[in-house]
A = this chain, B = another copy of it.
Amino acid sequence: MINTLFLPELREMLADNNHAELSEFCVALHASRTAEFMAGLTSEEISQVFQHTDPDNRSDILSYFDRQKQVEVVSELDRNEAAKLVELLQPDDRVDLLQEVEDDVREELIALMPAEVRRDILRLDQYPEDTAGAMMTTDVTKFSETMSVREAMDALTVQAEDFETIYYLYIVDDENHLRGLVSARQLLTGMRKPTQKLGELMQTDVVAAHVMDDQEEVANKVARMDLLAIPVVDLERRLVGLITHDDVIDVVREEATEDAHRIAAVEPLDQSYLRTSVLTLSWKRGIWLTILFVCALLTAFALEQYESRLKTLYWLVPFIPLIISSGGNSGSQSATLIITALSRKHISVSDWAKVVTRELVMGLLLGVGLATLGLLASWFMINTEPRVIAPEDQPAMEISVDGGETWIANEVGGEVQSRVKQETQSLTHLAFFVVPLTLVLVVMAGTLTGSVLPLIFEKIGLDPAMMSNPFVAGIIDILGIVIYMTVAAWLVGV
């Protein structure tokens, strides 16, 4: 978000080096708004504005810039100032930012930080991307069971500003094992009896995430249980970090966007659309386009197998895209419905029988609906199609008056002749039903493939969103051609 409303004023204040107004600007608004108004400035101007406010406030504003802007500002600043600024960010934001700056800048900055912060950065860095460990902040305040409610309240009063969350108090034992939690709400009502120990007040059934849990699972858990934050523990249930609700919203949005991209056969982007280079984006699209292209090539080979049939019954050709896209569209509808239902836990693999039944019924309904339209269309198109006339005593002749030209194809050979005759007769009977019947079967094949494939990929542990769509498209394209040609052979007998 860039808001250009105050840019002229800001630039004027900078030109006048107006300390009073600039320092007021930095604190007057919520830091996210200040960041919005500053986002239009160059990184040099931003570092000038920062001279007029204290480091805490600087890092607060910095945290609301997008990653790219943060990197620019940090690279612009004097190394000492930059190190201080980065140090004051939340541990998780800090690590994310440091991963983006140039390697040498990163080394210099880390070298300038206190040993404790340095260790923390290295620890967080070791967790694989998309795990709870990579997502968490290590800035979690711990309380002991023997502390009284009043003592806890006093500690909060003194330090509230420094805590990542004050909404849950996590209680650990001497070896840092998570023992329980007291919510701020419980603490407040606990003040009626201020000598009470946290150990008596705490809930012991604490929902926690493991450091190696997938971030999507963590987000689902937090969302399902309406939590404000979730503690992160290691294998021995030691409290190592905390994930807060705002990180969860980000993950939910990120995962949803990734799913949407995967469904459209784009490898998920690491950055926003405009920040991603054209080459990276081409690569992330190209790999899937190539896979889809190979599937389509198989369709072309399949069509080649039916060359003689298509030449004899040329009127089948214009319907090819219609058949394929009807199957593909219904398949992609099913796949998307199943993928989103799986990711929101509305269904699980064990519901497969119910899902498949529903999809087949829907396939039948949708197929019959489209077939009705298809029947009208084939009636119209076949009736305007030139007929093959084959009197028994002379070679079959095809007379076409298409496009204002007249040309005649003369076929010889008994076999062909009798076949052509057969076609002439059947055109008036069953040909109209080739496209409609194919549509019913192809749409059912589409809903079946589109629903079964995501379930199979989920079952074998692959991401249904990533794997399903190209395969659904590929399978349906080829199946569509085979069904179409088989129905044509069956009904028209070529």
Residues of A within 8 A of B (CB): 1, 28-30, 32-33, 64, 153, 156-158, 160-161, 163, 166-167, 184-186, 188-189, 191-192, 203, 205, 207, 222-226, 228, 245-246, 248-250, 252-253, 256-257, 259-261, 263-266, 272-274, 278-279, 281-282, 285-286, 288-290, 292-294, 296-297, 299-301, 303-305, 307-308, 310-311, 314, 317-322, 324-326, 328-330, 332-333, 335-341, 344-347, 351, 354-355, 358, 361-362, 365-366, 369-370, 373-374, 377, 381, 400, 402-403, 405, 407-413, 415-416, 443, 473, 477, 481
Contact = CB atoms under 8 A, between A and B. Distances in A.
A157 to B, nearest CB: 5
A326 B289 contact: yes
15 contacts: A28-B205, A32-B225, A33-B205, A33-B225, A158-B192, A160-B184, A252-B256, A260-B263, A260-B340, A282-B365, A300-B318, A308-B400, A311-B400, A321-B321, A407-B415
A358 to B, nearest CB: 6
A292 B329 CA distance: 8
Contact of A408 (B224, B253, B278, B413): B413
Counting every copy of the chain, the complex holds 2
Given A274-B347, A405-B308, A362 B282 contact: yes
B344 A272 contact: yes
B308 A407 contact: yes
Contacts of A292: 325-326, 329
Given A153-B188, A273-B341, A321-B321, 16 more contacts: A30-B207, A32-B225, A32-B226, A33-B225, A167-B228, A226-B246, A228-B228, A260-B339, A260-B340, A272-B344, A281-B362, A286-B366, A307-B314, A311-B314, A325-B328, A408-B411
A77 B169 CA distance: 38
Given A188-B156, A307-B314, A336-B261, A329 B253 contact: no
Contacts of A374: 293
B188 A278 contact: no
Contacts of A409: 409-411
- 10 tightest CB-CB pairs across the interface, nearest first? A256-B256, A264-B336, A303-B318, A272-B346, A226-B246, A273-B341, A160-B188, A296-B322, A300-B318, A32-B225
Contacts of A265: 329, 332-333
Given A260-B336, A358-B278, A365-B286, A253 B161 contact: no
Contacts of A400: 307-308, 311
Nearest to A374: B293
B192 A157 contact: yes
Given A278-B361, A329-B265, A321 B299 contact: yes
Given A157-B188, A351-B274, A403-B305, A329 B289 contact: yes
Contact of A184 (B184, B257, B325, B405): B184
Nearest to A245: B245
Contacts of A354: 274
B166 A185 contact: yes
Contact of A252 (B184, B253, B320): B253
B290 A319 contact: no
